[in-house]
Each structure stands twice: as C-alpha cells, then as structure tokens.
Amino acid sequence: MRTLVTGGAGFIGSEYVRRLLDADPTARITVLDSLAYSGVEANLAQVARHPGYRFVRGDICDPDTVDQVTAGHDAVVHFAAESHVDRSIEGAGPFVRTNVVGTQVLLDAALRHRVGRFLHVSTDEVYGSISEGSWTETSPLAPNSPYSASKSAADLLVLAYHRTHGLDAVVTRCTNNYGPHQFPEKVVPLFITRLIEGRSIPLYGDGRNIRDWLHVSDHCRGIELALRGGKAGEVYHIGGGTEVSNHKLTGLLLDAVGADWDRVEYVADRKGHDLRYSLDDSKIREQLGYAPLVPFAEGLAATVAWYRGNRSWWEPLRARAELR
Ligand SMILES: NC(=O)c1ccc[n+]([C@@H]2O[C@H](COP(=O)([O-])OP(=O)(O)OC[C@H]3O[C@@H](n4cnc5c(N)ncnc54)[C@H](O)[C@@H]3O)[C@@H](O)[C@H]2O)c1
C-alpha cells in the first residue's frame, strides 16, 4: 500500500510515519507538509533513508501540488491542520483555509485519483463541552472555538464526500495527545520546557477544566486500526481513558520536574474555554480491538525525560511558539 500522509512533519503525523516505516522495510509513504510553524522536518530524520519514504514540501490548499502528489496512492491519512485553539481565537483565517479548504482540495484529489481509503484525523473538540457522561460517535457536533468549528466543517465534508460521491472515507476523533516531539505551545510541552528553564507556567482560570489524555503512540495505533479495518462512512473515537483536570496535570508536571506551586501563575481563562471533553470509545474497542497501552504516569514521565534530553530540539522552536 502506498500511503500519502499530510502533516507528517508535525507531532502526531511524524509519530505515525516513524512507527510505520520503522516496523516495515517494504512500507511506502509520501509525506506532504508545508513545514508551517509547527512542522519540523527533523522529526522524520530517523526514517529519511528508508527506501519507501518520500517528503514533499507543499501546501494542501494548492490544488496543483495536491493533484500531482496524490496520484498513485492507495490511501490518504490526513493530519495536516492548524491545531492550536489559542491561535484560532487570535485569528480564524488560517484555520478555515487549511482545515476546511485544504481538506476539500485533498478530497477532490482523492476522488479524481480513485484513492482506496481516506482517513481524516479529527478531535473530540467538535462536540463542544460535556459536564457528565461521554459522547458517542452519533452525538451532535457543537464546536465552541474557531479551531473546533473548522475541524467540524472538515469532518462533515469528509462524510459528505462518502455519501455523495462514494469516497471510501473514515473519520477518527481522539482526545488530547501527549508525548515526544509535540510543539512547545501546547500545555504539556509548554509547561515542561518552561519548568526545565526555571520559568513560571501559566495556568488558565482555576484549572478545573478536564481533558482525557492519550499517548501519541496509542493514538497512532488506533488510526492504523481504523485505516485498515474501519468501515467506510464511519466515525471512530480513540480515547486514552485518563481524565485529569488541568490543576492535577500541573501538579504532576511540577512533581516530575521537582518544582513547587510557586512557579504557577494563574492567568485569565481562555475565551470560551470548554470545561470537559469525554469520548466513549467502546466502538473501536469492540469492533477493531483497540485499547490504549501506555499508562498515563509512565507516558508522562517518559515525555518529561524526552524533553529533558532533547533541549536542542525544542529550544530553537521557542521563538516560533510565540503567538503570531
Ligand atoms: N494534538 C492533539 O492533542 C490533537 C488532538 C486531536 C486531534 N488532533 C488532530 O491531529 C492532527 C495533527 O495534530 P498535531 O498535534 O500533530 O499538529 P501539529 O501542529 O504538530 O502538526 C500539523 C502539521 O501540519 C502541517 N501543516 C499545517 N498547515 C499545512 C498546510 N496548509 N499544508 C500542508 N501541511 C500543513 C504543519 O507543518 C505540521 O507539520 C490535526 O488534524 C489535529 O486537529 C490533534
């Protein structure tokens, strides 16, 4: 199978590509990535010599590039996106462009080139916020941020291309990812890197917002299961099974780095901050045999160790991490 992976230089996409190529000398993967601010080609350095690997620097919104690159592929795994909620609050334009228009450009190319399967990587944030219980795949979409609204639009386009044109498409929606190579603007790497540098960390509001944490390697296993065994036109949730408040997460990270609560600066809450996300992922567990394997405490400790050991990776990214 020749797979086109968009956004393969980012946090999750690069984990997906490394896993696949490391495990299979016969795998063939083309990465299409514009190397936007969060894209780091060095994330793929360890697979650069794999005979089945090809990197194309290009924008998913550019129909000519996408058309040329898509030809000859059996599957598309679509990660490329603007993914940081805070940036979408500063300005929604790039989110609509990449997440909505870019997805439409890819879908058209996938149809034209008769790609056998299109897997769209999405998020639990499309459902809004839930104070109790968990969303199933049929819960209504009610996004609250420009980021999640743009992802919802993309999800609906993917499902519409399946219904209207018969494109073989699957959508996965996952919870908050953590792990190595995450761009240092998201809460886990932001806090770890600032704590390592001896700086303060900004905690939104009172820290009672709850997220379910999923190790990036578990997410990528779930994607692979959905790619290979998922039913066309279906949505699959991928969860981590670890609900933690931001306050508790902060305490765990302080402990891991050996710092005290006096390093925490309480800052004004994010506008429209969703209180809680929670996915019911029994469908992928029962139908495709998914279960997360990385216990949160272990995964978090390994992530802190990775950032400690890879300062040369994240230090140059600090300037890029500032809001535009
Ligand atoms: N990180 C999470 O916790 C999380 C949770 C749920 C869903 N997701 C989804 O997973 C996907 C990947 O997220 P991530 O955390 O790895 O993001 P990331 O920001 O680390 O990576 C995004 C990648 O997309 C590339 N890109 C951006 N715009 C592009 C464009 N116009 N053309 C080509 N490439 C472009 C970037 O260069 C980068 O390599 C996204 O679709 C995101 O919505 C992420």
CA end-to-end span of the chain: 39
Question: Tens digit of pLDDT for each residue in 111-135?
Answer: 999 999 999 999 999 999 999 999 9
Handedness of CA 16, 218, 39, 234 (dihedral sign): positive
Whether 38 lines ligand 1, by a CB cut-off of 6 Å, is yes
40 pLDDT more than 70: yes
Mean pLDDT for the chain? 96
* pLDDT-based confidence at residue 323 (cuts at 50, 70, 90): very low
* Portion of the chain with pLDDT greater than 90, in percent: 95
What's the pLDDT score for residue 319? 79
Whether 123 lines ligand 1, by a CB cut-off of 6 Å, is yes
324 pLDDT more than 80: no
Q: Which residue's C-alpha comes closest to atom 43 of ligand 1?
A: 83
46 pLDDT more than 80: yes
Domain ranges across the chain: 2-177+216-238, 179-210+242-272+295-321
User: Catalytic site residue 185?
Assistant: no
Q: Is-contact 239 292, C-beta < 8 A?
A: yes
What's the pLDDT score for residue 288? 98
Over range 245-250, report the average pLDDT.
96
Tokens 């040369």 found at: 312
What's the pLDDT score for residue 217? 98
Alpha-carbon distance of 165 to 162, in angstroms, equals 6
Q: Which residue's C-alpha comes closest to atom 9 of ligand 1?
A: 122
Q: Report whether CATH 3.30.590.20 matches the domain 2-177+216-238.
A: no
Fold (CATH) for 179-210+242-272+295-321: UDP-galactose 4-epimerase; domain 1 (3.90.25)
The DSSP code for 230 is P
2-177+216-238 and 179-210+242-272+295-321 in the same fold: no
Report CA(37)–ligand 1 centroid distance (Å). 10
Three-state secondary structure string covering 231-287: CCCCEEEECCCCEEEHHHHHHHHHHHHCCCHHHEEEECCCCCCCCECCECCHHHHHH
**Chain-centre distance of CA 272, in angstroms?**
21
What's the pLDDT score for residue 308? 97
**Chain-centre distance of CA 221, in angstroms?**
13
Q: Is-contact 79 54, C-beta < 8 A?
A: no
Whether 121 lines ligand 1, by a CB cut-off of 6 Å, is yes
300 pLDDT more than 90: yes
Alpha-carbon distance of 264 to 97, in angstroms, equals 35
Closest CA to 130 of 238, 210, 202: 210
Tokens 């056998």 found at: 116
Whether 70 lines ligand 1, by a CB cut-off of 6 Å, is no
Over range 313-320, report the average pLDDT.
89
User: Catalytic site residue 124?
Assistant: yes
The DSSP code for 135 is B
